[in-house]
Amino acid sequence: MDRPEIILAPGPTPIPPEVLLAQGSPLVYHRGPGFGRLMSDVTARLKELYRTERADVLLMTSSGTGGLESAIQNVFSPGDEVLVPLAGYFAERWAKLAEAHGLIVRTVEYEWGRRIVPEDVARALAEHPVKAVLLTQSETSTGVIQPIRELAQVANDAGALVIADVVSSLGAVPFEFDAWGVDVAIGGSQKALSASPGLAFVAISERAWQAQADATLPRFYFDWTVYKRFADLPHPENPWTPAISVMQGLHAALELYFQDGVDTAFARHRMLSLSVKQGVQALGLDLFGEGLQDNWTVTAIRAPEGIDADTITDRIRADFGCVLAPGQGPLKGKVFRIGHFGYFSELDIIRGLAALEMTLERLGHPVKRGAAVGAAEGVFQEAQGS
């Protein structure tokens, strides 16, 4: 029998029934008061999540990458220079995206799994000023949460714009658009908010709008000016036909998220992260990446000696329908990743760890049965105060 997969990967994350029902409900026509209310509510909630009162937040029908592309197309002209600190797959995607649009990309390079050092970025900017620094808050390929506040500070000091990919971090870990001096930040519906894939959101500062007015790269579908004009209508709209069902689902997802509130979501992500980290360590596995106590979105785990990490992700999926993420780039075969942000409960983690224990045992790794589950239970019981 085909059962639904058990997703323990860093997005798309499991979708709560309320969201499924909302996105399966009859469509609200996308030009008129019903959709206008939906869009206004979603935008207001997202502004709260971005911690911004000053920015415009625009909603686009695309995956997160479309939101990133919109930032490049709207802020830059051919030949503009940007700095990209590289420490993983998604930072590299920024560099590729910028190069594809004819920008000159300067880099500060680190081994994957490292935290970017703000002083290094400050030095690079002092040696060679650029128009913008392109950052990734949650480097999903390594699990590392990068120090965006400090990086934005050094970029601001050097007069560079700060453009941040927060696709896999917005709503999962603290982020402050206004207070940290960020100019553009791009999020996606299918990550910490546990809605379906299909919507990108882009927060835009006044400085970024000024840059947009002078930028000459070609743009059409993602032209922010057009999105803003439609968003400012008495009944807000998208310029093009939007993913209405996904918007209905995202609306329900934000309602759920804010029922408990942002702080509760952060505390849950911290607890789930700790339970996974202590669980896999109890199986004798090593964690990968710097800054583990801050890395609440994804845990990257080194495969035990003699077992390919892809064999673990393949086997756990075949035997238990449990989806973990494989390693990317140079980490392929060496690490596997567990995502623990979004609509996960303690028991979702427990069953994932139980499946991992049995899978490792089947692959010949010596396992004390129940060790990971027991360690995770310890974290949950302590958080509960028992």
Q: Find the DSSP H helices in the chain.
A: 17-23, 33-50, 64-75, 89-100, 118-127, 148-157, 206-214, 224-231, 244-260, 262-282, 309-320, 346-362, 371-384
Give dist(CA 356, CA 350) in Å, integer: 10
CA nearest to 160, candidates 58, 76, 53, 52: 76
Neighbouring CB atoms inside 10 A of 13's CB total 23
Instruction: Closer to ligand PLP by CB, 136 or 238: give it.
Output: 136
Interaction of residue 183 with ligand PLP, rule CB under 6 A: no
Sole binder of ligand PLP in the list 168, 205, 299, 359 (CB under 6 A): 168
Which one of 65, 77, 281, 311 is in contact with ligand PLP (CB under 6 A)? 65
CB 198 to ligand PLP: min, Å = 9
- Shorter beta-carbon distance to ligand PLP: residue 13 or 205: 13
Considering only 23, 52, 70, 140, the residue that binds ligand PLP (CB under 6 A) is: 140
What is the spatial distance between Cα 116 and Cα 198, in angstroms, rounded to a whole number?
30
Decide if residue 167 touches ligand PLP (CB under 6 A): yes
CB under 6 A: which stretch of 133-141, 246-254, 272-280, 346-354 binds ligand PLP? 133-141
* Alpha-carbon dihedral sign for residues 228, 234, 236, 241: negative
Positive or negative CA dihedral for 238, 243, 245, 249? negative
Q: How many CB atoms lie within 10 A of CB 31?
A: 13
Q: How far is the CB of 243 from ligand PLP (least distance, A)?
A: 13
Amino acid at site 196: S
Which CB sits closer to ligand PLP, 90 or 201? Answer: 90
Binding window for ligand PLP (CB under 6 A); candidates: 17-25, 42-50, 57-65, 274-282: 57-65
Tally of residues, the chain: 386
Over the window 78 to 117, marking each residue x when it contacts ligand PLP by CB under 6 A and - when it does not, the resulting string is: ------------x---------------------------
Regarding 196 and contact with ligand PLP (CB under 6 A), the answer is: no
What the block records as the tokens of 331 is: 């980490």
First to last CA, the chain: 39
138 binds ligand PLP (CB under 6 A): yes
Q: Does the footprint of ligand PLP cover residue 327 (CB under 6 A)?
A: no
Q: Which stretch binds ligand PLP (CB under 6 A): 14-22, 50-58, 62-70, 203-211?
A: 62-70
Applying CB under 6 A, which residues contact ligand PLP? 11, 63-65, 90, 136, 138, 140, 165, 167-168, 188
